[in-house]
């Protein structure tokens, strides 16, 4: 996984709430068996509208998505994270994320940042006033900066460390594989198995 320490880029203001993962990437785009190439499916239905914010020329190359509350609700599809990353987004800011989407994003190195809705509104206003405005998401300092605005955000130490080091979760767990071995010795015989012993 790519390390995330700090990122600065231009932004896309997505003034919509309850953006579910079917909007982020519709199911018909989920048939690929790779982790790449999902950018075409990102917000596919909305992008059919030439005026949709992502289609505007001044938003080309933007890497910070600033969305309304309850972003990523619905399906657990990690393809939603891949589609955002494949398109070029490094980070998403919202007042509230759905649990599974948030988990997926932080596993995959797409930093999801929770800021109060008032701060999201300030960021929307700044990037709408001037699309060239850059937003910095600094994981090391745990703050978002945009012009004079400095907004601290919370993220637990463990997740921050894992993202800043770009560490693979499975590798970390396998360091403790003896604890798993030990746990399995206590498994009751009444619990089901799917294969004959």
Least gap, CB of 179 to other proteins (angstroms): 4
125 binds other proteins (CB under 8 A): no
The three-class DSSP label of residue 166 is coil
Annotate each residue in 36-65 with x if it binds other proteins (CB under 8 A) or - if it does not, as one string: ---------x--------------------
Q: If you search the block for the tokens 């699309």, which residue do you land on?
A: 131
Closest distance between other proteins and the C-beta of residue 42, in Å? 14
**Applying CB under 8 A, does 35 fall inside the site for other proteins?**
yes
CA 135 to chain centre: 16
- Report how far residue 66's alpha carbon sits from residue 85's, in angstroms, rounded to the nearest whole number: 14
Query: 64: how many CB neighbours lie within 10 A of its CB?
Result: 27
- # binding residues, other proteins (CB under 8 A): 58
User: What Å distances lie between residue 169 and 100, 107, 184, CA to CA?
Assistant: 16, 8, 20
User: Is residue 99 at the binding interface for other proteins, with CB under 8 A as the rule?
Assistant: yes
Q: Which two tokens stand for residue 19?
A: 């953006």
Helix axes 79-87, 99-108, angle to 10 degrees: 50
The binder of other proteins chosen from 6, 18, 55, 134 (CB under 8 A): 18
**Which residues here bind other proteins, judged by CB under 8 A?**
16-18, 20, 22-23, 26-28, 30-35, 45, 68-70, 73-79, 81, 96, 98-100, 103-104, 107-108, 156-158, 169-170, 172-174, 176-177, 179-180, 183-184, 188-195, 197
């Amino acid at each position: 996984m790519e390390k995330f320490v700090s990122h600065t880029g231009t932004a896309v203001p997505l003034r919509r709430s309850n953006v579910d993962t079917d909007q982020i990437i519709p199911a018909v785009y989920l048939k690929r068996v790779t982790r790449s190439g999902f950018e075409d499916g990102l917000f596919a239905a909305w992008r059919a509208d030439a005026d949709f914010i992502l289609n505007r020329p001044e938003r080309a190359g933007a890497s910070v998505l600033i969305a309304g509350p309850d972003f990523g609700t619905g399906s657990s599809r990690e393809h939603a994270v891949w589609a955002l990353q494949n398109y070029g987004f490094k980070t998403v800011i919202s007042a509230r994320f759905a649990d599974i989407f948030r988990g997926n994003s932080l596993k995959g190195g797409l930093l999801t940042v929770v800021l109060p809705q008032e701060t999201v509104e300030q960021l929307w206003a700044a990037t709408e006033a001037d699309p060239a405005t850059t937003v910095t998401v600094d994981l090391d300092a745990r703050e978002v900066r945009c012009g004079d605005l400095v907004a601290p955000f919370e993220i637990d130490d463990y997740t921050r460390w894992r993202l800043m080091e770009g560490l693979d979760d499975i590798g970390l767990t396998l360091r403790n594989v003896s604890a798993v071995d030990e746990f399995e010795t206590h498994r009751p015989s009444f619990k089901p198995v799917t294969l004959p012993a």
